[in-house]
């Protein structure tokens, strides 16, 4: 049986949030599920070793509307691409009429989709839960899991000379927008506190946006720079085994927080300007919100109010 899941959101984190639901479909039918997702999700880089995922198909749509699957021509191109795969069942994690018509015309026998014309105010997690409960009578826990080939871990341990007497901590210091990027001084304060009582080494994960590079440079050229290894030039695929060998992670609301938790690492999420559900949906996520706030959402602008002492206290509990 060939099954396809359609997840058309843009980011890595969005795709990871949907993994428990795709895994549940896989278990229900006892077969890997193929995934149609955007290139920007980089799903092909972090799901290649995950057994409940079959083939990752690229949804070629972009903001310039010139992708292979954009527009009227793209509508028919996607029908052709899916027809070649001969999917018996398609699960569409959105309310778009476009994807329903494409699925029908591709020849799929069964199509399951969110209710039509109900995109407004859809909760990214609860809507997916209700979707599978209604159609497959499955209750899904939001515990995303990514798997890695053990050989990759051995290679990383050898390359970075991993010492079992040290604690390795991932610091996700970047972010897709300026309001998500916690000041480097906050991370440096945590490094200073934890290094007084633990033998630690830190992997610095970020993108290559100019502002992210400035944060990275401040970290590297601080008095604790010798304890840090930047991994910003690595691909997602190359970064995964490094994350996996870490004892803990401290991450802004960035792709690294989602990847870390899905790889089984206890992850402290620094939620400055994003709805809290993106930083607490996994049982391995431990959110820190800005001082003086009871909740956090878009436009909270709390990056300067993330308390390093609170991060440190959560980190101590994880490492002990």
- Could you please report the per-residue DSSP string of 244-313? HT-SEEEEESSHHHHHHHHTT--EEEE-SSS-GGGTTSSTTEEEE--TT-S---TT---GGG--HHHHHH
**What average pLDDT does range 216-236 have in this prediction?**
97
d(CA 16, CA 75): 26
In which band, very low, low, confident or very high, does the pLDDT at 63 lie, cut at 50, 70 and 90? confident
What's the order of all strands across the beta sheet hosting 3-7? Answer: 53-59, 33-38, 3-7, 89-92, 110-113
What is d(CA 260, CA 252) in angstroms, rounded to the nearest whole number? 12
Q: Which residues pair with 229 in a beta bridge?
A: 203
Mean pLDDT, residues 250-263 taken together? 97
Confidence bin at 249 (pLDDT 50/70/90)? very high
pLDDT value of residue 141:
94
First to last CA, the chain: 46
- pLDDT-based confidence at residue 120 (cuts at 50, 70, 90): confident
What gap in Å lies between CA 125 and CA 129, rounded to an integer? 6
Average pLDDT estimate for 292-304: 93
Percent of the chain exceeding pLDDT 70 equals 100
Identify whether the C-beta of residue 103 lies closer than 8 Å to the C-beta of residue 93.
no
113-129 mean pLDDT:
90
- The mean per-residue pLDDT over the stretch 193-212 comes to 96
Output the pLDDT for position 117. 78
The DSSP element (H or E) to which 104 belongs, if any, is: helix 97-105
Query: What pLDDT shows up at residue 119?
Result: 77
Give me the pLDDT at residue 176, please: 84
User: What is the chain's percent helix, strand, coil content, to nearest 5?
Assistant: 40, 15, 40
What does pTM read for this prediction? 0.95
Q: What is the pLDDT of residue 315?
A: 98
Q: What whole-number distance in Å separates Cα of residue 65 and Cα of residue 71?
A: 7
CA distances for 7 relative to 22, 99, 105, 162, 165, angstroms: 10, 10, 18, 37, 41
Residue 116's pLDDT band, with cuts at 50, 70 and 90, is: confident
Task: Please say if the pLDDT value at position 121 is more than 90.
Answer: no
Q: What is the pLDDT of residues 136-195, one digit of tens each?
A: 999 999 999 999 999 999 999 999 999 999 999 999 999 888 999 999 999 999 999 999
Lowest mean pLDDT: which of 113-127, 199-213, 276-290? 113-127
The pLDDT assigned to 303 comes to: 96
**DSSP-based three-state secondary structure for 14:** helix
What domains, with CATH codes, occur in the chain? 3-136 (3.40.50.2000), 150-319 (3.40.50.2000)
Each residue of 64-94: pLDDT tens digit?
A: 889 999 999 999 999 999 999 999 999 999 9
For the chain, give the mean pLDDT.
96
Tokens of 260: 């870390």
Average pLDDT over residues 211-223: 96
Please tell me the predicted confidence (pLDDT) of residue 118.
79
The per-residue pLDDT for 96 is 94
């Amino acid at each position: 049986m060939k099954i396809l899941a359609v997840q058309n959101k843009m980011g890595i984190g969005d795709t990871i949030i949907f993994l428990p639901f795709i895994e549940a479909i896989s278990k229900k039918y006892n077969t890997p599920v193929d995934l149609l997702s955007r290139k920007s999700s980089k799903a092909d880089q972090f799901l290649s070793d995950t057994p409940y995922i079959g083939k990752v198909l690229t949804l070629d749509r972009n903001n310039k509307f010139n992708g292979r699957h954009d527009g009227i021509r793209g509508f028919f191109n996607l029908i052709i691409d899916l027809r070649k795969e001969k999917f018996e069942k398609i699960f569409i994690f959105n309310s778009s009429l476009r994807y329903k018509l494409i699925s029908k015309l591709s020849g799929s026998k069964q199509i399951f989709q969110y209710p039509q014309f109900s995109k407004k105010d859809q909760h990214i997690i609860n809507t997916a839960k209700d979707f599978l409960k209604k159609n497959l009578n499955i209750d899904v826990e939001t515990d995303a899991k990514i798997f890695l080939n053990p050989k990759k871990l051995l290679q990383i341990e050898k390359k970075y000379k991993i010492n079992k007497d040290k604690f390795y901590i991932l610091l996700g210091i970047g972010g897709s927008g300026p309001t998500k990027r916690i000041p480097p001084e906050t991370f440096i304060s945590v490094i200073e506190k934890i290094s007084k009582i633990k033998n630690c080494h830190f992997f610095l994960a970020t993108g290559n946006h100019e502002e992210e590079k400035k944060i990275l440079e401040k970290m590297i050229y601080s008095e604790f720079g010798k304890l840090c290894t930047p991994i910003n030039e690595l691909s997602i695929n190359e970064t995964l085994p490094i994350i996996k060998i870490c004892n803990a992670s401290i991450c802004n609301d960035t792709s690294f927080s989602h990847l870390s938790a899905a790889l089984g690492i206890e992850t402290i999420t620094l939620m400055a300007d994003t709805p809290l559900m993106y930083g607490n949906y996994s049982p391995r996520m431990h959110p820190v919100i800005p001082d003086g706030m009871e909740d956090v959402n878009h436009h909270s602008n709390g990056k300067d109010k993330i308390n390093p002492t609170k991060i440190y206290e959560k980190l101590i509990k994880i490492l002990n």
